[in-house]
Amino acid sequence: MSIYTKLQTAIEGKDSTLYKELYHEDFQFVRHQTKTTMNREQIVAMIEKMFASGAVEINEHRCLYENDTVMVEHSFMSFPDGSSEAVLAFHQIENGKIIRTETGATLIK
């Protein structure tokens, strides 16, 4: 099963345990807006809050490309403040797990 398929299953089922299993122990999420990074535990904590609150919606989630070393996905996200973004994510894969993620987001008016 591809990483994207597992990721989609975790998102649809709001399964933070499965979500965490997809990420390498040395995972790094690059936050370009704030010029900061998040590690595996930080990203999982954020996702757990998103899943628990149901306040963030992920729509039209799709994989644009995936192989053994990279995955590119696109989705539309809606947030509690009423804003929406189109999000493009680039994931580096190592040993079958996501080790680094960078995203680009465009505000949808």
pLDDT tens profile 74-105: 999 998 888 999 999 999 999 999 999 999 88
pTM assigned to the model = 0.88
pLDDT band at 9 (very low <50, low <70, confident <90, very high): very high
| pLDDT at 56 (0 to 100) | 83
- Structure-model confidence comparison of residues 101 and 32, the more confident one: 101
- The DSSP letter of residue 82 is S
* Beta strands across the sheet bearing 23-31: 36-39, 23-31, 97-108, 84-94, 70-78, 57-66
Radius of gyration in angstroms for the set of CA atoms belonging to the chain, rounded to a whole number? 13
CA 71, CA 63: separation in Å to the nearest integer? 7
Report the CATH fold assignment for 3-108: Nuclear Transport Factor 2; Chain: A, (3.10.450)
Q: How many C-beta atoms lie closer than 10 Å to residue 105's C-beta?
A: 14
- When pLDDT is averaged across residues 34-56 and rounded to a whole number, the result is 88
